[in-house]
Structure 1
């Protein structure tokens, strides 16, 4: 089967409500399935990533390290990780302006858009969930990402 025909079939599935498409042509067959593990309700919504399980937020309290070696303790030196609220493809560059949405060393405030995750052809703006400075970008532009995958470190 011609690769152009396969690409056209993929586009057909992406542009429609079809969940699965199977085509048989002689002895050759192609099956294209769309999986939707995280339902998306509306286009261009801004999401705050869920709080990272690595650094729990406890307002107005200081967490002191435990002397016991058997229990893990919170380390203030560890940067906060912004994690993905969904499965999709992450974009670090704005498609319209071709400008990066964020970069290492950038100061961000909670609510600033730092990346876009495309899921099922819908763009979802992902906002920083705390004030700080971006210390690391853990994903590449156009990379497929999983649910709760760390995206960016903020100090």
Structure 2
């Protein structure tokens, strides 16, 4: 895999800022022509630096105003139990992120729903159907102070 040079890093930063930038816009910002920018972006995609392009939605406008971070501990920690939890948690659209973590709990989930009633329904009728959950602690977001998907490169 090729080493990233300063132009690659700048292109990645620009695309993190706005994936909707065209090759022409990026080329203009870099003082380059379109073709080498296009080729660099394609190379960065092919090498896996760029995984995919997404659109971020305004959660308020789509009615997903309650965010919770759920710490989940399993009762039994066999390989099969961990893999089963990982498989089952992926079926829930309310779970935006799931991390297997070290520390006091086993998994950290980011759950986004409409309101507390919908969260209650999620925990009671979906999350609690997963066998082997021993403990669940929920923390609710009061105010989002910083939110970014961009990496410091």
Normalising by structure 1, report the TM-score: 0.31
Normalising by structure 2, report the TM-score: 0.31
Which of the pair has the greater relative contact order for Cα pairs under 8 Å at 6+ separation? 2
Higher strand share: 1
Higher helix share: 2
